[in-house]
Amino acid sequence: MRPLEDIRVVSLEQYGAGPFGSMHLAELGAEIIKVEDPSVGGDVGRAVPPYAEDGDSLFFQSFNRDKSSITLDIRTAEGREVFHDLVRGADAVYSNLRGDVPEKLGIRFEDLKDVNPRIVCCSLTGFGMTGPRSREPGYDYVLQALGGWMSLTGEPGGAPQKTGPSLVDYSGGYVAAISLLAAIHGARRDGIGTDCDVSLYDTAVSLLTYPGTWHMTAGYEPARTHHSAHPSLIPFQAFEASDGWLVVGCAKEKFWQRLTVVMDRPDLAEDPRFATFADRNRNREVIVPLLEELFQRRTVAEWLAPMYAASIPCAPINDVAGALVDPHTAERGLIAETDHPVYGTVRSLRSAVRVGPPGDDRAPTRGAPAMGADTDRVLRELGYDDKKIAALRDAGALGKA
């Protein structure tokens, strides 16, 4: 039995951040009933190019495995009635919409507490449900810009850059999942539900972590660094070898000592200019160019072998293809394979969340559902008969008949 099999979540989610968060819960056994608005074609993620057709896409498949999908327009009176029936038997209502929309749709705890006093209403929005930006739409690119991330990414003097993956979206999904589980725990303990007002803005700003602390407390001015170098630990950055790039991370003094031996330059460890992190930081304009010149004398493989042997933190800088075929990726069970009527076998990435003994913590996974694939089943589980379901379709609550 998976750990979250006793949790049911009614989810009004779309695109990336929200579905990413709930997919982890689904993989751990939670029942995620994905409510898709038939009047707008369901989750907008179904239409994200370039691999999209027939109301589905590989983007959608990446974020919605192991979920159920029902079509339901909760703005109609009939749809609202169905929604309330779903809420009565659920632990949480989860959404990722603009900050003012949960109130408009009536999906806050205040709106649903009379339907189910233990319901948790978790809203992942761009900017939260309070504050001067609460009515603004929020997307990963926007939040990386506003949250200061792009000012720290890229080479000094170059254009601001976002991180490769949409890390504000994905981190926000994790934050929402943690918040939702904590609130469900509290509701089961105390007998009363609550709201979770989670935002991508809060996520982005909170992840500034120690550079933010340094700036607010000591006046430190965070800035982009050469070759993605750590702001104070040297050497800890990307280096170019004769045939490619690698990262070397001397996060402890013992790693620096070992690296100088691997580089056949033990004298560097004895040089008082480079003896400690503080010394190397003061003399970074001397030591970094020297190390860069040394690294260009061998290939990536020629550097990695002795550094691995010396337990120095290091890695080749893989492209996406290289990361996906790394033997460790396969050994850790990170690739999901599901069947699809259009794409054949869809290979996607599994959750990094793990519960259970090593090597025995991966349950079978299902592909993302077709829009409305589970509507009739879910409604019948609520006690609706064929006549009632047909009447809902005729009223437009489930979409066009």
Task: Report in angstroms the alpha-carbon separations of 392 from 69, 73, 90.
Answer: 16, 10, 21
Question: Closest by alpha carbon to 257, among 226, 235, 227?
Answer: 235
Please work out, in degrees rounded to the nearest 5, the angle formed at the alpha carbon of residue 199 by the alpha carbons of 195 and 205. 135
| Calpha distance 399→79 (Å, rounded) | 10
Question: Closest by alpha carbon to 34, among 77, 85, 95?
Answer: 95
Question: Closest by alpha carbon to 166, among 139, 199, 132, 197?
Answer: 139
Q: Give the largest CA-CA distance in the chain.
A: 85
Please work out, in degrees rounded to the nearest 5, the angle formed at the alpha carbon of residue 37 by the alpha carbons of 34 and 38. 120
The catalytically annotated residue of 169, 197, 202, 374 is: 169
Strand order in the sheet with 245-249: 236-240, 245-249, 314-316
Q: Is 18 exposed, middle or buried (0-12, 13-18, 19+ CB in 10 A)?
A: buried
Tokens matching residue 119: 């319901």
HSE-up (13 A, CA, CB side) for residue 255:
16
Pair 22, 12: CB distance under 8 Å:
no
Catalytic: 73? no
Which residues are identified as catalytic? 169
